[in-house]
Amino acid sequence: MTKKAEAAINWSAKEYIPRDKNTSWYVWLVLIALVLVGLSVWLQWWTFTVVVVLGTMALVVGYTNRAPRELHYSLNNQGIVEGNKLYNYEDFRAFGVLKTDENFSIMLTPRKRFLPRVEIFFPQEQGEAIVDALGARLPMEEVKLDFLDKIVKFLKI
């Protein structure tokens, strides 16, 4: 008896949702960095000074000026394929759907305790098919933004 092959579900989505940053965002970033540098120099924490300067530069250059890539996804019998990377179903204990603003995403919760959740965006019109296919493989649970996710959203990065 042969196992019936399931049709793959394919879609494309941005790797992250870019958030607009106005001039005041950059001013606040520089002010906070200057306060942290001043504090670290006063306390003679030289390593922390370097970390703050390099972190601020990396934030400005790496995250704010880079447009999100368009990624191609596919759901198949083994897991979720993101470009050339496969996320196996057995590596995750559950999934949930998160709606932020006008965007929908799947949050995959890993089995291993200290691994981060995987967030995959999807178009609303394919949402039902994607959720049904994932629901056949993994239990669905309610997901909420954790503390780190809330900070990243607040900082618009």
Concatenated DSSP letters of the chain = -PPPPPPPEEEEEESS------HHHHHHHHHHHHHHHHHHHHTT-HHHHHHHHHHHHHIIIIIISPPPPEEEEEE-SSEEEETTEEEEGGGEEEEEEEEETTEEEEEEEESSTTSPPEEEEE-GGGHHHHHHHHHTTS-B------HHHHHHHHHT-
pLDDT score at 11: 93
Average pLDDT for the chain:
86
* Single pTM value for the model: 0.72
Tens of pLDDT, residue by residue over 93-125, are 999 998 877 889 999 999 988 888 899 999 989
- pLDDT of 154 reads 73
Q: What pLDDT is recorded for position 63?
A: 67
Q: Give the residues of the chain that fall short of pLDDT 70.
A: 1-7, 63-64, 156-157
**pLDDT attached to residue 3:** 46
Q: What is the pLDDT of residue 2?
A: 39
